[in-house]
Structures are given as structure tokens and as C-alpha cells.
């Protein structure tokens, strides 16, 4: 692992908030173990191993029933660790893969059979080399028959430039971590309002109200992120997802306690109906229902 890499919390607290039965952690990763699933040669960071057994132990500890596991950049387009975790979890996990443009229909079908339901397009420059938009558009066409959606990861300053491309995708899109707002500017600032307006105008765009640990200016207190997430949950209750982001790659400020992250949920989704939508109905609809065309 990189010398400045912070490993995940080894003893997270039990959350005070009890998640409803059947809740889904819709953004988390597995890393390695490197002996079995080596990291990608072109990776931008080398994490601490975070194997499937640890992820599923955390799921049980926090009270979740299911996971959506997202392929992270340190494994590149080699989805072997993800597929292994999906096989181990059976119906209790779904996956978001990162695929090579040359992937065949047969390989995509095999991933679908294993539980993959989306691909991720990563635009965060510290994590990946730039991929031409045409390549992403080709992948979007390839996955269309499977009814998969597209998860996009970008930083707030890139939203304006990316918007025309997002419009071209013409499928369901999930934006990671609320588009990474700068929380030193408030909710009413035009930057965050640009994101709200995008969701307002396009019903095919969802978002994950995740990662207060990355967005906060006052770690480990996450209150400054709450108004952003709560705005999205209240405005778009049927298009939001929540996830731990375990094992929190590339954290520099602090090691998040996953129990404390779960305790943010009732602040951003204050009613049982909003919690039911955020944690169960939305992820179950997106990842466990059949969308094959
Ligand atoms: C996240 C965030 C990060 C990393 C990755 O693919 C990745 O490596 O997504 C990050 O460093 O912000 O969603 O896990």
C-alpha cells in the first residue's frame, strides 16, 4: 500500500440509527487481496487490501442486507475481485463494473449473470487517465440490451463541461457522491444549484448522497454536508441512493468510522418514508429488478 494511504477503520462503532430491514449499501468496494487479485499496473494508488469477507462482515455489523459493489480504479478493467465477491454473496450483492471498449457481448452477458448491472465512467483526473468520450459512447451502446445503467464519477468543476456528454448517453445515469460539491459554498450557491437543476430537468439522472467524509471541511463532523444531501433526498426522493464508500480509498484527512457514517442517514432522510426509499425501494428497483430490453 502507498506510504500515505490510510487503511479502513478496524473497529467501527455500532450505529445509533437502526437501518430498516432489507437496507442496501449501494456504494462500496473490494480491494484485492493482492495475492489473488493483483492491482492494475496503471493504477494511480495502491490501497490496503479490503477483501470481500471484511466487506460482508461490515454489512452485517451495520445492519445492512445487501451491497452494490463498485469497481474501483486501482483494479482498472480487471473485474475479477468484484466478480468473485458477487459470486460469494449470491443474491445479496450487485456490481458496477469498469469495462474495456473491446469487451464482447458474451463477456458482458457473463458479468450480467454474475450480478453486474452497470458500468462506471470515471472522470476524476487524479484517479484515471482520460478516456475519449467516443469510447464511453460505444460502451453505452454495448450495454444497452442488458438494461444496465451508467454510474459517473466527476468533480463539481467538471459538471458544466460534461453535461452535453451526459445528455448523449440516453440511459439512466447515477452520479457518484452528489457530483462532489464544494461545501464551503452553500446549498443556494449557483454551483450546487446547477446540479439540482440538472436533476430537475432530467428524470433519468439519479445520485448517491454519499461521502460526507470526503466532502466535509470539519472531519469527523459531517454536519456541513447534511444540507446538500438532504436537499437532494427531499427534492428527488425516488432517485437517490446511499452507500458507505467502504473502504474509503484515498482518504487523507481522517479514517472514517462507518457506524458514524450510518448515523448521518436520519439527518439527510429524516422520515421513515424517505429512509425506505433511499435505503430499500430505490436500490432494489435499480439493481434487483430486471431491466433487460
Ligand atoms: C470512491 C472514491 C474514490 C476512488 C475511486 O475508483 C476509485 O478509485 O472511486 C476517490 O478517491 O475519491 O468512490 O471510492
Instruction: Tell me the pLDDT band of 233, cut-offs 50, 70 and 90.
Output: very high
Catalytic residue among 25, 49, 176, 245: 245
Ligand 1 centroid, distance to 72 Cα (angstroms): 6
> In angstroms, rounded to a whole number, what is the distance separating the alpha carbons of residues 251 and 213?
8
Ligand 1 pocket by C-beta < 6 Å: which residues? 29, 72-74, 122, 127, 153, 176, 245, 249-250
Q: Give the full edge-to-edge strand order of the sheet including 173-175.
A: 24-28, 66-70, 93-97, 116-122, 149-153, 173-175, 205-208, 240-241
Q: Which CATH architecture has domain 24-287?
A: Alpha-Beta Barrel (3.20)
260: cell is: 458514524
Q: What is the mean pLDDT of residues 165-175?
A: 96
Cα 215 to ligand 1 centre (Å): 13
| Per-residue confidence band for 85, with pLDDT thresholds at 50, 70 and 90 | very high
Distance of CA 76 to the CA centre of its chain: 16
Q: Where are the domains of the chain?
A: 24-287
245 is catalytic: yes
Distance (angstroms) between ligand 1 centre and the Cα of 241 equals 16
pLDDT digits (tens, 9 = 90+) for 14-44: 999 999 999 999 999 999 999 999 999 999 9
Q: What is the mean pLDDT of residues 269-285?
A: 98
Pairing mode, strands 116-122 and 149-153 = parallel
Q: What is the pLDDT of residue 140?
A: 97
Confidence at residue 178, expressed as pLDDT on a 0 to 100 scale: 98
Compute the average pLDDT of residues 89-111: 97
**Grid cell of 235 as nine digits:** 427534492
Region of residue 167 (left: phi > 0; alpha: psi -120 to 50; beta: else): alpha
Share of the chain above pLDDT 70, in %: 100
Element counts in the chain: helices (H) and strands (E): 12, 8
Residue 134 has pLDDT above 90, yes or no: yes
Q: What is the mean pLDDT of the chain?
A: 97
**Which protein residue's CA is at the shortest distance from atom 9 of ligand 1?**
72
pTM: 0.97
* Residues in Cβ contact with 169 at an 8 Å cutoff, skipping those fewer than 6 apart: 136, 137, 140, 150
Asked if 38 and 76 touch (Cβ cutoff 8 Å), the reply is no
pLDDT interval class at 293 (50, 70, 90): confident
Cα–Cα distance for residue pair 85/88, rounded to 1 Å:
5
Strand partners, 116: 95
For residue 29, which atom of ligand 1 is closest to its CA? 14
pLDDT tens across 172-186, in order? 999 999 999 999 999
pLDDT (tens digit per residue) in 55-79: 999 999 999 999 999 999 999 999 9
Q: Which grid coordinates are listed for 68?
A: 452494490
Amino acid at each position: 500500500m502507498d506510504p500515505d494511504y490510510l487503511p479502513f477503520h478496524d473497529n467501527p462503532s455500532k450505529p445509533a440509527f437502526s437501518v430498516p430491514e432489507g437496507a442496501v449499501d449501494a456504494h462500496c468496494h473490494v480491494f484485492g487481496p493482492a495475492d489473488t487479485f493483483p492491482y492494475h499496473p496503471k493504477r494511480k494508488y495502491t490501497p490496503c487490501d479490503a477483501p470481500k469477507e471484511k466487506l460482508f462482515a461490515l454489512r452485517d455489523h451495520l445492519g445492512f442486507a445487501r451491497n452494490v459493489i463498485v469497481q474501483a480504479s486501482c483494479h482498472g478493467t480487471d473485474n475479477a475481485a468484484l466478480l468473485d465477491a458477487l459470486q460469494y454473496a449470491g443474491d445479496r450483492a450487485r456490481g458496477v463494473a469498469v469495462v474495456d471498449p473491446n469487451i464482447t457481448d458474451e463477456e458482458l452477458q457473463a458479468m450480467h449473470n454474475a450480478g453486474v448491472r452497470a458500468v462506471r465512467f470515471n472522470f476524476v483526473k487524479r484517479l484515471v487517465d482520460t478516456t475519449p468520450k467516443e469510447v464511453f459512447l460505444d460502451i453505452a451502446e454495448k450495454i444497452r440490451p442488458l438494461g444496465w445503467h451508467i454510474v459517473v464519477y466527476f468533480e463539481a468543476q467538471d459538471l458544466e463541461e460534461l453535461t452535453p456528454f451526459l445528455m448523449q448517453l440516453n440511459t439512466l445515469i447515477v452520479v457518484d457522491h452528489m457530483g462532489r460539491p464544494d461545501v464551503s459554498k452553500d446549498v443556494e450557491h449557483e454551483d450546487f444549484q446547477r446540479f439540482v437543476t440538472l436533476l430537475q430537468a432530467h428524470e433519468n439522472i439519479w445520485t448517491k448522497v454519499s461521502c460526507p467524509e470526503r466532502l466535509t471541511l470539519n472531519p469527523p463532523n459531517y454536519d456541513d454536508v447534511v444540507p446538500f444531501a438532504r436537499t437532494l433526498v427531499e427534492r428527488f426522493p425516488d432517485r437517490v441512493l446511499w452507500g458507505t464508500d467502504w473502504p474509503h480509498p484515498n482518504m487523507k484527512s481522517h479514517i472514517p468510522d462507518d457506524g458514524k457514517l450510518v448515523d448521518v442517514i436520519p439527518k439527510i432522510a429524516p422520515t421513515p418514508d424517505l429512509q425506505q426509499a433511499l435505503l430499500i425501494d430505490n436500490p432494489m428497483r435499480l439493481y434487483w429488478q430486471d431491466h433487460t430490453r
